[in-house]
Amino acid sequence: MVKRQFPRPAEVLDLMRFKKPDFNARRRRLNAALTIGDLREIAKRRTPKAAFDYTDGAAEGELSLSRAREAFEDVEFHPRVLRDVSAVDATANVFGGTSALPFGIAPTGFTRLMQTEGEIAGASSAGAHGIPFTLSTLGTTSIEDVKAANPEGRNWFQLYVMRDREISYELTRRAATAGFDTLFFTVDTSVAGARLRDKRNGFSIPPQLTARTLLDALPRPWWWWDFLTTPKLEFASLSSTGGTVGELLDAAMDPTISFADLKVIRDLWPGKLVIKGVQSVQDARALVDAGVDGIVLSNHGGRQLDRAPVPFHLLPEVVREVGAHTEIVIDTGIMHGADIVAAIALGAKFTLIGRAYLYGLMAGGRQGVDRTIQILTDQIVRTMKLLGTHTIAELEPGHVTPLHRLTPRPGG
- DSSP H or E segment with residue 96: none
Confidence class for position 202, pLDDT limits 50, 70, 90: confident
Tell me the residue length of the chain. 412
Per the omega criterion (within 30 degrees of 0), is the bond before 48 cis? no
In a domain, 50, yes or no: yes
pLDDT at 295 over 80: yes
The predicted model gives 346-361 an average pLDDT of 98
What would the pLDDT profile of 206-245 be if each residue is shown by its tens digit? 555 566 666 676 778 788 788 788 887 667 665 555 555 6
The pTM assigned to this predicted structure is 0.92
pLDDT at 366 over 70: yes
- 154 closest CA partner among 103, 215, 116, 229: 103
Q: For 153, which DSSP code?
A: S
Q: Which of 82-86, 278-282, 293-297 has the lowest mean pLDDT?
A: 82-86
The CATH number of the domain holding residue 243 is 3.20.20.70
Residue 300 known to be catalytic: yes
Domain tally for the chain?
1
In a domain, 57, yes or no: yes
More confident residue, 136 or 23: 136
Write down the catalytic residue from 300, 325, 390, 399: 300
Query: How many helices and strands (H and E) does the chain possess?
Result: 18, 12
pLDDT of 77 reads 97
- Give percent above pLDDT 90 in the chain: 70
- 235 closest CA partner among 167, 309, 183: 167
The predicted model gives 94-117 an average pLDDT of 95
In a domain, 368, yes or no: yes
Which domain, by its residues, includes 89?
36-399
In a domain, 15, yes or no: no
- 343 closest CA partner among 374, 376, 366, 369: 376
In a domain, 28, yes or no: no
In a domain, 372, yes or no: yes
In a domain, 115, yes or no: yes
In a domain, 13, yes or no: no
